[in-house]
Amino acid sequence: MTRVPASLIRVTVLPQDQPVAAAYGDLHARCEAAGVTLAPLDLMIAAHAQAVGAVLVTRDRALGLVPAGLALEDWAATG
Homologous superfamily of 17-74 in CATH?
5'-nuclease (3.40.50.1010)
Largest distance between two CA atoms of the chain: 48
Listed in order, strand segments (DSSP E) in 2-79 are: 56-58, 72-74
pLDDT in tens, the chain (79 residues): 467 777 777 888 889 999 999 999 999 999 999 999 999 999 999 999 999 999 999 888 888 888 877 899 988 886 6
The pLDDT of residue 2: 66
Q: How many CB atoms lie within 10 A of CB 23?
A: 20
Q: Which residues contact 69 (CB under 8 A, 6 or more apart)?
A: 50
Give me the residue spans of the domains in the chain: 17-74
Q: Which residues contact 37 (CB under 8 A, 6 or more apart)?
A: 31
The pLDDT of residue 64: 86
